[in-house]
Amino acid sequence: MKRLLALIAALAVMTLVLTGCGEEEKAGKVLRIGTMSPLTGPYAADGNDIRQGAEIAVEVMKEQGGVEGYTDIQLFSQDTACDPKQAVAAANKLINEKVTAVVGAYCSSSTIPSSETLAEENIVMLTPASTSPQVTERGLPYMFRTCGRDDHQAPAAVKFMKDVADVKTLFIVDDKTTYSQGLADGVSIAAKAAGIEVLEHDHVNQGDKDYSAVLTKVKAANPDMFYISLQNSATGALMVIQARRMGINATFMGQDAVYHPNLIEIGKNAAEGMFCTFGAIDKDAPAFKNFLSKYKAIANNEPGAYSAYSFDSTMAYMLAVKAAGSTDPAKVRAELMKLDFVGASKNVVYDEKGDSGSNYTVYQIKDGKFVPYWNSLTGDKY
Amino acid sequence: MTTQESKKLWLSCGVGLIWFLIILWPLLGITPEGLEFGKTFKVFGYVAVGVVILMLFYQVQQAGKLNFVGTPLKATSVGIGKIYEITPRWILLGIVLALAIAFPLVTGRYAHDVSISVLIYICLGLGLNIVVGLAGLLDLGYIAFYGVGAYTYALMSLHFGLSFWLCLPIAGVTAAIAGCIIGYPTLRMRGDYLAIVTLGFGEIVRLILNNWMGLTNGPNGIMGILRPEIFGFQLNKLWMLYYVILGIAVFTILAVYRLNFSRIGRAWEAIREDETAAELMGVNTFLLKLLAYAMGATFAGFAGAFFAARMRFVGPESFSFLESAMVLAMVVLGGMGSIPGVILGVLALVALPEVFREFELYRMLVFGGVMTLMMLIRPAGIWPAKRVGRRSEEAD
Amino acid sequence: MRGSEHWIHMEFFIQQLINGITLGGVYALIALGYTMVYGIIQLINFAHGEFFAAGGYMGVILISWLASQGLHPYACLALALALSMGYCALLAMAVERLAYKPLREASRLAVLLSALGMSIFLQNGLMLTQGVYDKGYPTEITSGGFEWGLVSVSYMQIFIVGLTATLLVGLNILVFKTRIGRAMRATSQDKVMSALVGINSNRIISITFAIGAGLAAAAGIMVGLYYGSVNYSMGFVPGIKAFAAAVLGGIGNITGALIGGLIIGMVEIFAAGYISGEYKDVFAFIILIGVLYFRPSGIMGENIDDTRV
Amino acid sequence: MADNITPILELKNVVSAYGRIKALKGISLKVFPGEIVTIIGANGAGKSTTLMTICNIITAVEGDILYKGERINNIASDILPSMGLCQVPEGRRIFPRLTVMENLDMGAFFRKDAADIKHDLERVFELFPKLRERRKQLGGTLSGGEQQMLAMGRALMSSPKVLLLDEPSMGLAPLLVKQIFDIIRMINSQGVTVVLVEQNANLALQCAQRGYVLETGTVVMEDEADKLLTNPDIRKAYLGE
């Protein structure tokens, strides 16, 4: 009987805790930026890269004297676990933290619902990793994307197959996520249009480690190229290891999610010679080198696939705030549209939709390194 | 506590710590560059100090040295208990309801979001409570019905533009049908076989949602679902949605309460306690078990439809096994078969990870540990139902 | 290559059969732990998948450390296998003592949830100590194999099947021929009576956990070696499949776990090979439900006393 | 029995409970070496609980249990057989999926002396020749009488000093019951002290030297067996006259 009291007490405590969260004191003027990425769950590795990229950007900005008018820049990172519900909760939490911009998320299925929540409060969202066309196609005014789009990546990959690798037959495998399947479908359609025979388009499930059944099919089909569209670099490595062990001789090609040092670290010899499409990052450019040295010094590991994009997204926002002199979303948007800066990943320029263009480059793994091989914009080999 | 007992306690504590060190060190200390001890001992140090402090506290408390805190506290709680006992039940429930109604007026967005989650889970928990708590059927795939409800509304809204209020009962019915489909072949099974089969069904539903491109749009999920409307006015603010789900939750609570104390509820409990005996007494166990599945699924269907309307997006990620396990955890942790118990369980398991958000990476670690700890401290749940588990109480 | 379709189909089938046996062997080893623990205390040990993951991690940690000490790769592997099995045994005993033993008299759902909490705890513990990135196994040890036309059998596959068979035979001897095995069977049948004839049931339960976790650790290392990497969340999916395998074979039954593991492995591989990769798990679960519908206590029958409380 | 001999087993004011319900409300009894003592009483009087409390399956809340003068309240159940205290519980509780031979081996689980075990096994097979025939069969496939024999044989394999027997006659045909009681006397004559719990008071009292009568958790009467047999109250209440 006394327990009903406990229920009331628990409700009251919760009310207090939750209201307490909302009423933080405003000491000085602080630029508050949120990050959202999967910090737990199967995509924690990529999520970690995104958070670290943003942290480095803030550090670099502070070293350069910060943003005028703001005493400090604070980063609030939230975990989405690549789950739409948690992503929306994270977005609401960040709104409560009074952030004015969010860098994230990773999975398109998290980015899309959380962007709707953020849009209600006119908070700027810059995604460093969600490549689904739907992210910027919904007409949200404050949605920006620093990475490329799937519907640009697929044609680039197929163009490479047709023009450079001289592929006649193709086998496609994806792992059934919004991103990996969308891209694989895009490649399938573009390849058929380009006259490449798609022998089969098969799927594996997330969380699987055993791909032997599908790979036996690949071996029996004996394609010229084996296109691997997976959500995660480690699963990509597992795929190539098992494929090589089975004696598949096709050329392997992956996409930007498997483009990660992990692919080489785990895949070792099996990954040698594999191609990957990834937004061109000029690793010799001073901007990237600067980023790399900072990253290594602060994060104490190698940057991942999306670290540089996350860095650039955060940087772009801070630069826009600097130029606008305020965090007023309309003014920031105007400044973001005017922005043209040399980032770690590329020259960041946003178009009307909020996209920043894609400049997919095909990389090849050679001697345990990603080496630029072919540029989709110019059609030239490096 | 005698010195001998205390010695024994400290001894087992020491053995435990050494054991912990043996388990921890290989994970932290062995690297290809060589063996390393500093990091391990740092972590171990924190844990050891924490454990020793807890032990000391426990001993002091056992020795009665903390009575100066405990006694007044106890006196206050006894006093409040007396006030509670003389206050009529409806006033207390009224206070709870008033608090729930006033809640969004004094809180921010984030609080609304969390409390909407709490209310959704209350519907889910109470629904599962019918299956697990009342009828005693272990169900590890319960979240499938939630998914069916969510997709029902999503598809109805997308293809036919039907309103939320019309779809809410439809979602309940489709979920109930799904419940019967799942229930039918499983009724022959008992105990843990039921568990794995329901788990299998849950996974099948999730995989179908993820793979049937034509119907569900696969992993991309369904976007652009309409928010609920009232007289043509769209409820697009979070606090408005809060009242919608509050209404659904109150309806669920009332319905489950009525069911609990009805003939059907008693029949379910009879099945839970002794199925053979119930059958001999003329209870149609087959039909009633099916009904339990269907009723449980219906409430999950309602919750699912609301979830789709609230997120304006449904994707298969939201209906994984872990989610089923979570709802089950809420029911068992709160106390099976007891409505306030389930509500407390939901509050604990939704609020905890939110409170722990500050721990960031340690969040789920702490969560898992606390879950085990709570089960160890209160194996029958926070607020066990009076009619459940008498046998286990006797064994105390 | 496309000339002799018939032979391609035959070879394709044989290759899939080999794939299925390998995968089934892995599931069987994990399922054994479930089945043994279930047999003795009727608990679905959700944390079992985490022992598997921990074993995989200890394997890679030890192999790379031992290799850096200049040991022969095979010696590294053997030593790492033994040590990881020991490590997971200790881990399982600690978990049992801490999270399950105090709940011996409580309702089975309470223990189930305690196990679930432990599973979450251990998974995140692994994540925090080992990081979120996958850890790659040294692939040099595992390369090579035989090839006949389209059919290829790697040494690793032979190793997995061989090790599974050896461990199974060893386990059968342990359970059916030794004193401790008799005590285990007696405890699983009647705990009170076992105490009355002088068996310390707590110790026997602890040993059962240790053996089950040891087998899971062996499976973890084999998975790491065969597939190439381990990560902290790897225990979950095979855990569920192995649990299904244990139930399919008849939970509590050692031979049943083997048969169940092989069936689940085969169904998955053949469904992916002949029907569709994304629906393979659906087929695995449908087979499970179908079998249980017609044989409600698994293929080999349940090995649990009906008189238990 | 003279008071100067120390009892081999003694209960002093033992209280035990299932949760809040007290099953034994302060039982005191003495068992002297070499005798057969019977505990009789109606259903639910606490007879089986007494035996379970002696073996620490149910822990005594109050009072002392002394075995050979030593307090054994805190000694774990699984240690007691090695001290010579062995129980055949109600319903026999043989291991149904262990063979007869394995069941007998379980009785000698804590023993290491192979030669003596073999000797005891022979003795058991002499007492129960049926078991020798069926030694490869699973325990669960035996008939009720055979199961009772197996349970007693298993207990003898631990070479007990004190044997606690709980309702050995339950569910058996009269002829078998007689046989079982003959064997109990035989075991006793070989030097094993026997505590016999029975509902069949007539048979039990004929077999035993002394008896205790339990009613709702308390000892209401204790006396020599033949005196109890002739006690009119007892005859009325338990012997159906």
pLDDT, one tens digit per residue, over C67-121 is 888 888 888 889 999 999 999 999 999 999 999 999 988 888 889 889 989 999 9
D134 inside domain: no
User: What is the pTM for the complete model shown?
Assistant: 0.87
Residues A88 and A159 in one domain: no
Cis bond before residue A105 (omega within 30° of 0): yes
Residues A123 and A158 in one domain: no
> Across residues B62-73, what is the average pLDDT?
72
- Answer whether B362 sits within 8 Å of C124, measured CB to CB: yes
Residues A16 and A120 in one domain: yes
**Closest Cβ opposite residue C198 in set D82, D95, D102:** D82
- Please check the confidence at residue B375 and state whether its pLDDT lies above 90: no
**Segment (H or E) for A374:** strand A369-375
**Closest Cβ opposite residue B109 in set A8, A40, A95:** A95
C161 inside domain: yes
**Segment (H or E) for C31:** helix C5-41
State the DSSP string of A223-247. Answer: -SEEEEE-S-HHHHHHHHHHHHHTT
B-C C-beta contacts closer than 8 Å: 165
Which pLDDT value is given to residue C305?
41
Nearest partner of A183 among A139, A133, A238, judged by Cα: A133
D19 inside domain: yes
- Answer whether A3 sits within 8 Å of B347, measured CB to CB: no
Q: How many structural domains compose chain A?
A: 2
A353 inside domain: no
Domain enclosing residue C150, as ranges: 5-294
Extended beta strands in chain D, E state: 9-18, 21-31, 36-41, 62-67, 70-71, 85-88, 162-166, 193-198, 210-215, 218-224
Whichever domain contains A196, its CATH number is: 3.40.50.2300
Q: How many structural domains compose chain D?
A: 1
Q: CA-CA distance, C93 to C90, in Å (whole number)? A: 5
D118 inside domain: no
Residues A194 and A110 in one domain: no
Contacts with D, C 153-182, CB within 8 Å: 179, 182
Chains that touch A (3 or more CB pairs under 8 A): B, C
Residues A134 and A262 in one domain: no
Which pLDDT value is given to residue A24?
45
B156 inside domain: yes
3-state secondary structure of C269: helix
B376 neighbourhood in chain C, CB within 8 Å: 99, 102-103, 114
**Closest Cβ opposite residue C182 in set D55, D105, D158:** D105
B–A touching, 3+ CB–CB pairs within 8 Å: yes
Least confident of C1-10, C105-114, C296-305: C1-10
Q: CA-CA distance, B23 to C50, in Å (whole number)? A: 14
Tens-place pLDDT, residues D112-148: 888 999 999 999 999 899 899 998 999 888 988 899 9
Whichever domain contains C162, its CATH number is: 1.10.3470
Domain enclosing residue B122, as ranges: 100-389
Please report the ipTM that was assigned to this predicted complex. Answer: 0.85
Q: How many structural domains compose chain B?
A: 2
Q: CA-CA distance, C115 to C188, in Å (whole number)? A: 19
Confidence band, pLDDT 50/70/90 cuts, at residue D9: very high
> Across residues A118-145, what is the average pLDDT?
89
Confidence band, pLDDT 50/70/90 cuts, at residue A193: very high
D–B touching, 3+ CB–CB pairs within 8 Å: yes
- Answer whether D93 sits within 8 Å of C190, measured CB to CB: yes
The whole-chain average pLDDT of chain B stands at 85
Report yes or no: D240 at the B interface, CB cutoff 8 Å: no
Report yes or no: D112 at the B interface, CB cutoff 8 Å: no
Domain enclosing residue D4, as ranges: 1-84+160-174+193-241
B140 inside domain: yes
Number of other residues whose CB lies within 10 A of the CB of residue C299: 17
Domain enclosing residue A122, as ranges: 9-148+305-348
Residues A144 and A225 in one domain: no
Residues B155 and B58 in one domain: no
A265 inside domain: yes
Q: CA-CA distance, A380 to C75, in Å (whole number)? A: 50
A121 inside domain: yes
Report yes or no: D158 at the C interface, CB cutoff 8 Å: yes
D6 inside domain: yes
Q: CA-CA distance, A48 to B360, in Å (whole number)? A: 12
Residues B343 and B198 in one domain: yes
Tens-place pLDDT, residues C177-235: 899 999 999 998 888 899 999 999 999 999 999 999 999 999 999 999 888 889 888 88
Whichever domain contains D76, its CATH number is: 3.40.50.300
Q: CA-CA distance, A354 to A111, in Å (whole number)? A: 14
Nearest partner of B336 among B125, B122, B119, B120, judged by Cα: B125
A355 inside domain: no
> Across residues A300-312, what is the average pLDDT?
84
**Closest Cβ opposite residue A262 in set C26, C133, C236:** C133
Cβ–Cβ under 8 Å, residues D222 and D211: yes
Q: How many structural domains compose chain C?
A: 1
Asked which of B31, B55, B73 is the last residue of a domain, the reply is B73
Residues B22 and B129 in one domain: no
> Across residues B277-282, what is the average pLDDT?
85
Residues A166 and A25 in one domain: no
Tens-place pLDDT, residues B106-138: 888 888 888 899 999 999 999 999 998 888 888
Residues A131 and A70 in one domain: yes
> Across residues D166-194, what is the average pLDDT?
90
